Each structure stands twice: as C-alpha cells, then as structure tokens.
Structure 1
Amino acid sequence: MAERAPLLRNSYWVLRHGKSIPNERGLIVSSPENGTLQEYGLAPEGIEQAKLAGELFNKELKEKNVLIEKVCICYSPFSRTTETAKEVASALGIPFEGAQCKVMEALQERYFGPLFELFSHDKYTEIWALDAKDPFMSPAGGESVADVASRLATALTAIESQYEGCTVLVVSHGDPLQILQTVIHAAKEHSSSDSEGIISRIKGIMVHPILSHHRKFALLTGELRRVF
C-alpha cells in the first residue's frame, strides 16, 4: 500500500480582514470592481483589529521559533484585505512591497452576484440557505461554494509551487476562508497515493456533505486561526 503523501509543504494560518466600512454599513461588497475601491476599505476599528492580529501572529511565530524570513503573507486584492495585510506586515517588520507579500486574485471575496451586490447583509441568510441545500448551485450570476473551492485549490497549488517550509498567512474574506478551511480539513483525511497533489485531493472531497457545512469554520472580523 502506497504511503499517504504530505498534504502541504508549508504551514498555514488564515486571517479574516478587520472590520470594514461595508461591515459597518451592513452592505455586501463582493465584486472586484467595488471591493478594490478605497471607500470600501477598513473602518477605524478594523485597522485596530488588523494591528492586534499582526501582534498576535508575531507572538505565535516567536513562541514556535519561526524565522520571519520564512513567513509569507498571501492576500486578496480587495481594499479591506490589502489594508489588513499591510498592518500585519508592519507588525512583523516585513516589507509589504517585498517578495514575502503576495497579492492573489484567487483569494478575493466570493462573488455573490448582482442580486446581492451592495444590498443588505441580511441577504446572507438566503445565500447560506442555498449553500446548505446545494453547494454546487450558484446564486444568480455569482459563485457557488464549489466554484470558490476550485479557485482556492488553484491558489494553494500556486503557493505550494513557490514556497516550501514556510509559514503562510492567508488574508482573505469570510466565505473563502470558511471554504478553504473546509477543504483543507477534509483533504487531510482523504486517502491518496503518494503522487496525488492538493488539487486532486480537494476534487476528491468536493461533495455535498462536506461543502455544505462550510459555515462551521466561520471567522469573526480580524480573527486569526491556524489551519495546517
């Protein structure tokens, strides 16, 4: 029997962006066109949350004797995540424009579609009800849970091909980080041959009973969590 291949070459932490202006206003902002606007960046409270998350992450790294040179920050291009990543990089003493910080479109917010964009946060309950019923079904014009899982698998593959033996902090959004945690935890348990990569493993666990429960990995704004 072939030995199970190591799932990932790096260790992973996730951080949901700090409280944003859309959070304060109770708006869904999920399209790249809107999400990258400065007017939808961090609220003052969110900046403080990001700073605290950076300090906490720095403390965790020191306790685990992780060298700062072996830390990478991969983040969504949205304003609220970019600003969060900058605060963390500052807390760690990492140059934000340097090689240790990488913006990735594949980590951007789940697009919920035109029927939800710039509408009230109250409509999230409709989306999550749909997810629980069928995680392969997209909100009209938006992304399904499975769609997001597929692009996150692509993001992981890109990170794994670029870094090895690093501690990677993924700075993203509520739904993508819930889905990322879901697929990583499930993939850990997925038996495989020693030649199977992360995308193959994730494809193997992309089934209704797993993807429909992504909400159990929910994060608060500014919450830091180790994943792998």
Structure 2
Amino acid sequence: MEGSTGNSPAPPPAFRNRYWILRHGRSVPNERGLIVSSLENGTKPEFGLAPQGVEQARSAGESLRKELEEMGVPVDSVKICYSPFSRTTETARVVAGVLGVPFEGPSCKATVELRERYFGPSYELLSHEKYAEVWAIDEADPFLAPEGGESVADVASRLAGVLSSADVEFHGSAVLIVSHGDPLQIFQAVLSGAKENPSFLDDASGLRKESLVISSVLSQHRKFALNTAELRRVV
C-alpha cells in the first residue's frame, strides 16, 4: 500500500491496451429467472436479450462512445471480444452498431473463453435462487466446483488467459469485453490481484496450485458484481 514501510507491492502490470467490461443486457433467462449456463443452451436463440436488454445495450454503447470521445480515443481502435452466448452476442452486436464498428469484421471476435460460468447439470435451467448456494461455496473455497461445473478458479484461469492473449494480439486498442455476471466478477478479482502483485496474473493462468493469496482474492468476487448492461472501465 501507498505510504507503507518495508517491502512495497510491485507496481501494477503495464497493459498495452485500455479495457472495458460489459455485462450483457437484460435477457430472457433473467426475465424467466432461469440459470442458463451451458454452451449448448446459452447459444440457443430463445435465450437471447429481452426487449429491455436491447435498449440497455444501446445505452451502454452510447456511454462507451461518450467515454471514448472524452478520452480522445478513436473509435477505429475499438476491439470487441464477446462470449458466444446469444445474450452476449446480441449485446455486442448492438454496441458495435452504436459505435459504427462492423460486427462481421476483424474488430469483433466471439471468444469462447468468455462464456458463462457453467454451474453444472444440478443447476442448469433451474431457478436463479440457486445461485446463492454456489456463491456460498465460492466464498468458502473458490477452488471447489459445483458437481460437473466450474469453480471460481476454473473461470479465473480462462479469463486470465483471455486478458494475456488480448494484450499480445492488440496494441493501443480500446478493448471491450462482453461477458456474463460471474465471469466478469471473477475477471475483476483477477485484475484486483494483479494490481497488487503482477505475478498474480501468471499464477491465475496456471492456477493448479492452491495459492492462499489467490484463494483470498477469488473468494471475494461477489463484491465486483455488475448490473445487466453495466459498463465499467477496468484498465
């Protein structure tokens, strides 16, 4: 911490790009109160955005455009990486339209590693109220997965990989990551750890060792919760 004595944490890692995250707009699963977390179900058209979600996505696009203008960042530097689920694909498409970024062009990329956290067959297509059970496990042990599903650590590993890859692939870009509630909470937890200690990102990518530092950071991912279509600059 600033002003502390002794060994100070290393400075935040230097990223080559600016990064924003965006949770998808209000979706049909949100309105129906359903957990839709498998790739098979999540890519079905019937689980896309609700009408309100389309409007939310449009508003998020306008907010991002305004931020870019205020920062003097050209729109042609924007790269959009999005989960292939219907609700995230539709959100990314709307935002790209607002910004004037060709959705079918090289600046927009479906990235399977940004998919929803898979909660496992015991939760799939059940009530949203079941999330509380998973989050209680997360807080106790982020390395423990729901049966047949993904742990916080599993998701952190793939999202740390996305960030590392994007920072190699792009340079001087404004990168928008369009994903889901749990993955984006976990992504922010990884970034939070990286700001304290740059090696955290490498540790999170490997994540086969149950580091106490990683565990303490990941178990608190809920504090980074986002509303539907909430836009947040993270780097």
TM range (shorter): over 0.9
- Are 1:218 and 2:221 an aligned pair? no
* Equivalence for 1:147: 154
- For residue 72 of structure 1, report the CA deviation from its aligned partner: 0.7
* Equivalence for 1:61: 68
* Equivalence for 1:132: 139
Aligned-pair identity (%) = 59
Which stretches of structure 1, 4 residues or longer, exceed 3 Å deviation after superposition?
3-7, 200-206
SS at match of 1:155: helix
The aligned length equals: 223
Matches within 5 A, 1:1-228: 6-190=13-197, 198-200=201-203, 207-228=214-235
Aligned equivalents of 1:206, 1:44: Cα separation in 2: 42
Aligned residues of 1:190 and 1:201 also touching (Cα < 8 A): no
- Superimposed CA distance per residue, residues 100-126 of structure 1 (whole angstroms, 9 cap, x where no aligned partner): 111100000000000000000000000
Aligned residues of 1:109 and 1:176 also touching (Cα < 8 A): yes
- Superimposed CA distance per residue, residues 32-78 of structure 1 (whole angstroms, 9 cap, x where no aligned partner): 00000000000000000000000110001000000111111100000
Aligned equivalents of 2:87, 2:136: Cα separation in 1: 26
Q: 1:191 to 1:158 in 2, by over 3 A?
A: closer
Structure 1: gaps of 5 or more residues: none
Q: What TM-score, normalized to structure 1?
A: 0.93
Supply the RMSD in Å over aligned alpha carbons: 1.8
Aligned residues of 2:13 and 2:198 also touching (Cα < 8 A): no
- For residue 165 of structure 1, report the CA deviation from its aligned partner: 1.1
Aligned equivalents of 2:85, 2:168: Cα separation in 1: 24
Q: What TM-score, normalized to structure 2?
A: 0.90
Aligned equivalents of 1:138, 1:201: Cα separation in 2: 16
- For residue 163 of structure 1, report the CA deviation from its aligned partner: 0.1
The one-letter code of the counterpart of 1:149 is A
